[in-house]
Amino acid sequence: MYTHLPLPRLIGTPKILFEPESNKSRQTVIPMVKWVKMKMVSNAKIIVIVFLFSLFAYQAYAGGLGALIEVGKGQDLMNKALDKETETYEAVKKAIGTGNIKEGQLQDFIQKQYGGPVIVTSEKSGMETWVYKPDYATWFDGIKIYLVFDGSRELKEIRSLDKTN
């Protein structure tokens, strides 16, 4: 039966020191061999773990990069929509100022000529309100134009709101 001796902490390759004539030489060599095998397995596990970690890190990086690219594309689309919103607002504002949009005109004409609103609200009575606003205006503050249509889709009222702080 083997007795386990406390093993010293070794740096680098373990060296097995024993005296050939000693009775304890076999008792010292066997635990040292087990220790070396254990260290080799442990190092192999560490190498595999580091490799897998780097593989997953690369995958996460590649996936994250793809997500950032998609966010950038989405941001571009959002900016184009906001630019279009402002462009439509400016066209409607100019048309109201020059008298090209006036009460009695139909929704279809206004939409084809100047573009659609940012939002449409409907009432039970059939009245519809179209809201135009530039991208820099919020829903609570800023400038807006309201076009109110009756049930026959005819423009009944034009309101402009400038609620800036």
CATH number at residue 151: 3.30.1450.10
With left for phi above 0 and alpha for psi between -120 and 50, is residue 126 left, alpha or beta? left
98 domain residue, yes or no: yes
Query: Is residue 156 one of the residues assigned to a domain?
Result: yes
Q: How far is CA 108 from CA 17, 105, 113, 123, 134, in A?
A: 98, 9, 8, 19, 21
pTM of this structure: 0.55
In a domain, 10, yes or no: no
The beta-carbon contacts of 29-33 under 8 Å, at least 24 apart in sequence, are: 30/2, 31/2, 31/4, 31/5, 31/7, 32/7
pLDDT value of position 153: 93
Question: 25-48, pLDDT tens digit by residue?
Answer: 455 555 555 555 555 556 667 776
Distance CA 83, CA 67 (A): 24
Q: Which residue has the tokens 């009695």?
A: 104
At position 161, the amino acid (one-letter code) is: L
CA atoms within 13 A on the CB side of 43: 8
Structural domain count of the chain: 1
pLDDT at 130: 95
Domain coverage including residue 142:
18-165
Q: What is the pLDDT of residues 71-85, one digit of tens each?
A: 677 777 788 888 899
* Contacts of 16 by beta carbon, 8 Å cutoff, 6+ apart: 28, 29, 32, 33
2 domain-assigned: no
